[in-house]
Amino acid sequence: MAKSRKVSNVQKRIHEKLTTTSGFKTGRIRPEEYGAQIGWWSFYRFGKPKKKRVINLGPVMLGTQTYLLGAAVGEPSVFLGLNGKLWKVSGKKSKLDFNVVAPKTTDAHALKAWADTVAQRIVDKLSPRVEVQVNREGNLRYKSMVKTLVSNRVEEGVALGYAQSFGDYARAINHRWTVSDLLTPRYPTIKHALHVSLVLALPAKQAAQLIAGAALYEHKSPYITEDIALSMYQQAVSLLSRLCPEWWNNGAYTRWEFIGSIDMLFTKQYTNTLVHAKNLDVSLQTASGMIQSEPLGALLRQRRSIEE
């Protein structure tokens, strides 16, 4: 009797509990890592404690914020994650009047296909109708533009004797990417548009339009204009040409299978910058070549003297 009363008291105090993994807290889990564990969901069912893994299902955009979509394996519950925190969103308060049961498969492609459907239903339920309609049309237009650009490069390659496929271009950006990651991303992003522009070696004006369009849908604000997008693309071209001279010579017909991928080169460069900053005992901005203005430099010196 005492034992059952004790269990009942614990159940009242801890009806359910969400904990996040250290990888999710520190931002080491990428949105495209489908199936990666981001937390634990502990709860009681029929008086018995249960504990389920919460896995990553990719990004979901609500309003002006991008969240990480999560689901408990084998349970009709979905979660939203942001800045290392998790919230359960299924139930009456969230207007989600359907039950979704996360599959127990570990195949990333199957999880992505299932998660895309769930993410769209969540956005439809929790976003204004006008925003959903406009964003859906813009998303389809972006995907159509990307598919057209890649198709043109494939056809040009065939005419010139280069056997480049959609899969080749996807793996050239990231060795884990598939054709769906290249042609049908869940949402347009600056990174996706920039990498597509680089792997296809697009003309500067064309790349700037693609990047600016993706930035508008990602950040829900028009502050990234075509001029800013053009500057971003030119800087990326300058960096990639130094990291991979073969790309500078061959452009869209670079044999990336012997080099790696664009994402790998940029990640290695960032890692080298971190190591360089550590060895020289300087800030990351200084190690990357950024010149600090005098007001900012004075502020940093002031803070250092206060800390000392």
Residues 121-154 have pLDDT tens digits of 777 777 777 877 888 888 899 999 999 999 999 9
Confidence of residue 305 (pLDDT cuts 50, 70, 90): very low
Residues 186-224 have pLDDT tens digits of 889 999 999 999 999 999 999 999 999 999 988 888 889
Place of tokens 């925190």: 85
How many Å apart are CA 229 and CA 209, to the nearest integer? Answer: 8
How many Å apart are CA 139 and CA 185, to the nearest integer? Answer: 9
How many Å apart are CA 129 and CA 132, to the nearest integer? Answer: 5
Question: Domain residues of the chain, as ranges?
Answer: 2-127, 130-260, 273-307
Residue 202's φ and ψ, nearest 5 degrees, are -70, 150
Closest CA to 41 of 9, 77, 4, 1: 77
How many Å apart are CA 12 and CA 97, to the nearest integer? Answer: 26
pTM for the whole structure: 0.74
3-state DSSP assignment of residue 133 = helix
- The Cβ-side half-sphere exposure at 270, using a 13 Å CA radius, reads 6
- Answer whether 60's CB lies under 8 Å from 80's CB: yes
Dihedral angle at the C-alpha atoms of 179, 181, 184, 187, nearest 10 degrees? Answer: -170
